[in-house]
Amino acid sequence: MKITSANFVISNSEVSKCPTNKLPEYAFIGRSNVGKSSLINMLTNRKNLAKTSGRPGKTQLINHFIINNNWYLVDLPGYGYARVSKSAKKVFQKFITEYFEQRAQLVSAFVLIDIRHEPQKVDMEFMQWMGEHQIPFSIVFTKADKLKPKAIERNVADYKAKMLEDTWEEMPNYFITSSSSGIGKDELLSYIGEINMEINKNA
């Protein structure tokens, strides 16, 4: 799939104020500073569609972008470690969980994880919550340009081992990406494109 148009639609902190049409949605979420905005900009070929920042916790709202006029890319706040007040963090967590529990248009989420680090407790807990609530998701490993291929393989294997050791029967679907080099862009967009084709076929 090729992205020909990507436009900002709305930012808000209430699920009830999200777009009311039935277009499929794909939500991107990850720990603060995982490179989410950079990945969104890389996927859409836009430099500043999602605002990037060196300061963790920059995204603090549910941001909807309409892509090719037929699906939504949803940029969600990061979880964990953001330098925001405890009260703000509680609000994030509340509307993040409400979004996943209530949003019927959500087709799949993409949980972003920095490939350079060993499995982090906050990521594992979040993915477990997604699994327990039967919310479909794929893992998107980011910043792959920072590691050699063997190190990437080793780190993915560590994640797989950790997930299977915990509560997972199999490793979730995953992608290896890099915003700076474009690794994984075609695979990720093809995956979304195939799902959209299925949805349209069954509509």
Is 70 part of any domain? yes
**Residue 70, SS3?**
coil
CATH number for the domain harbouring residue 18: 3.40.50.300
**pLDDT for the residue 79:** 75
Domain that holds residue 155: 6-202
Amino acid identity, position 103: R
Asked, for residue 130, whether it belongs to a domain, the answer is: yes
88/68 Cα distance (integer angstroms): 33
Q: Are strands 174-176 and 137-142 parallel, antiparallel or unpaired?
A: parallel
Beta strands per DSSP E along 35-152 = 62-67, 71-75, 106-114, 137-142
Residue 133 lies in a domain: yes
1 belongs to a structural domain: no
Longest dimension (CA), the chain: 46
DSSP E strands: which ranges in 77-179?
A: 106-114, 137-142, 174-176
Residue with the two structure tokens 């060196």: 54
Does 11 map to a domain? yes
Whole-number Å distance between alpha carbons of 96 and 83: 17
pLDDT values of the chain reduced to their tens digit, one per residue, 203 residues: 999 999 999 998 889 999 999 999 999 999 878 999 999 999 999 888 887 544 444 457 899 999 999 999 999 987 764 455 566 556 557 778 889 999 999 999 999 999 999 998 888 988 988 998 899 999 999 999 999 999 999 999 999 999 999 789 999 999 999 999 999 999 999 999 999 999 988 76
CA dist., res. 118 & res. 191, Å (int): 26
Domains held by the chain: number: 1
Q: How far apart are CA 14 and CA 64, in angstroms?
A: 12
Q: What does R_g of the chain's alpha carbons equal in angstroms? A: 16
In sign, the C-alpha dihedral spanning 130, 60, 92, 81 is: positive
pTM of whole model > 0.95? no
List of E strands, 69-126: 71-75, 106-114
153 lies in some domain: yes
Cα–Cα separations (whole angstroms), residue 174 to 28, 51, 96, 131: 13, 25, 21, 15
The pairing of strands 71-75 and 6-12 is unpaired
